[in-house]
A and B are shown apart, each in its own frame.
Chain A
Amino acid sequence: MTGYIVRRLGMIVPILLGVATIIFLLMFIVPGDPARLLMGQHGDEKVLENIRREMGLDKPVYVQYLRYIAKLSRGDLGVSYRQKRPVASIIRERFPATAKLAVASTVIAVIVGVAAGIIAALYRNRVVDWMVMILSLTGISIPVFWLGMMLILVFASGLGWLPVGGYGRSGDIRHLILPAFSLAAISIGYIARMMRSSMLEVINKDYIRTARAKGLSEKAVILHHALRNAFIPVITVIGINFASLLGGAVATETVFAWPGLGRAAVDAIRVRDLPVVEGCVMFLSFIFVLVNLLVDLSYAWLDPRIRLDGRKEA
């Protein structure tokens, strides 16, 4: 098991190197000069030359790339062209906000989605099932920014229960409620559907019949025997979903003025702030690999028959 974890962690290095290279090339293919953009519409040539020199943009592309990789290998993510401060500190500032939102919306999505999925499975082809399925489809289909605006109109502007947007002071959960719910909508839909189909599959298995036959209560059968086994595919959905939320949710962050990583990355793309884009994407890749590893590890925990290191069970 330890060997497996070490191997998986070791793969992070080539993955990050690949990501860094792809982003670097993409940012060079996309037209737009970061130095020029700093100046506004009046790009005085002499001033421009000076800015390019200070940023190292006057060097050939391959020199810039090698310099960047060399810096990366020392753990230095570079300095933002526009904000003129270390990318690491930008990520450090944004990540707590992103994590807070990701955790809150995942918790909501898991509680609501799993419950809805189980209920739908238990009442298969009945009105409750249809309602859950229609609602989950709606959740998946509604554009996040529209849902966000509607939540704001109803709960903030209309009823005045919650603030319209913004991060609020630390520890103020009122600001978190609306963005977390609007972000959870899609995940609830996916989780509910996945939970339902997985549950239906498990419920028809022999061991469930056995459990019922030996006189266990329905609650024990569902929660103890069926749920645990039905959970494996759902865990994958939850994990990937959570990982992508940790990379930032641009639309939600924009609508609710939430200072997350997604907004930082998109704003950086808009002004061709290469170091920030690179930093954000690499951080996201890192998180993705890590969360995927955790998901795989959880399989083994949920189902002891699954051996991750590839050896057959003795």
Chain B
Amino acid sequence: MEHILTANNLTKTFKSGERSLTVLDSVSFEIEPGATVSIVGPSGSGKTTLLGLCAGLDVPSEGIISLVDIKLNALSEDDRAFVRNQYVGFIFQNFQLLSTLTALENVVLPLELRGEKNLVPRGKELLERVGLIDRMDHFPSQLSGGEQQRVAIARAFMSNPKILFADEPTGNLDEETADIVTKLLFDINKEEGTTLILVTHNMELAQHTQRILQLKGGKLVSDERTHQNLAVESNTSQLA
């Protein structure tokens, strides 16, 4: 598998009566396994739409999107759900934990859905990693925003996803908490070697990734390597 994610001429048009609005216009890119990529752009530039298409939450009006060589737009909604469960992890701006489940239950949920057993040790391990082992029986309403996002990070990594999508993961947090969450996200991601696609309008956060895709008016206007990428490349060359 050369690329874990391929977007080829992705276009998304919404129709409202006779009017149509193109929010994403012929966007193409490829992402290698293990890469960390940011999608940035101003409000309304199509960032979240692109994330939705890449993660198989939606289908493009035109173009092809493939994830781990699976053509997502050829699949039904239930098949795409199956792909997400097998290969994808998510972190959202508003955490999206299930309010009726405890922290630990939220974490193990994706693997429970697969029908796997003995998940508690791995769940606890991840909660320990995010510093919330003593809060594992708490419900989301009993946790602060930062704690909820840490539980969401643990849940995202629980199923060892091939690719992780994060939508403004620090958007609802104060600066201090945001720094803690960012560090945690990138540290675990590094440990697990997961591909990370991060949607943000925060350029400082985007600088943590190796590559930045910039959108404007639904078009991909730039695709830049960051100093993180250079660091990775230099590390690789030194090892070689």
User: Are A and B physically bound partners?
Assistant: no
List chain A positions with a Cβ less than 8 A from chain B: none
B residues adjacent to A (C-beta < 8 A) = none
